[in-house]
């Protein structure tokens, strides 16, 4: 199992990081638009 995970993670990890980064961008955009709405 450990060997499988070791072989699996190099191809899987970058994809997860991309998804997480995309989600963080979405969250920051939403929070920014909400704060801008409250500001104006």
Model confidence pLDDT, tens digit, residues 5-37? 555 555 666 777 888 888 888 888 888 887 877
Statement: residue 38 has pLDDT above 50: yes
Q: What is the span of the domain harbouring residue 6?
A: 1-40
Tokens representing 22? 């995309």
Q: Considering the entire predicted model, what is its pTM?
A: 0.45
Torsion of CA 32, 33, 39, 40, to 10 degrees: 150
Number of domains observed in the structure of the chain: 1
What pLDDT sits at residue 1? 44
Cα–Cα distance measured from residue 34 to residue 36, given in angstroms and rounded to the nearest whole number = 5
């Amino acid at each position: 199992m450990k060997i499988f995970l070791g072989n699996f993670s190099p191809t899987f990890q970058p994809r997860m990081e991309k998804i997480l980064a995309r989600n963080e961008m979405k969250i920051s955009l939403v929070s920014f638009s909400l704060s801008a709405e409250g500001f104006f």
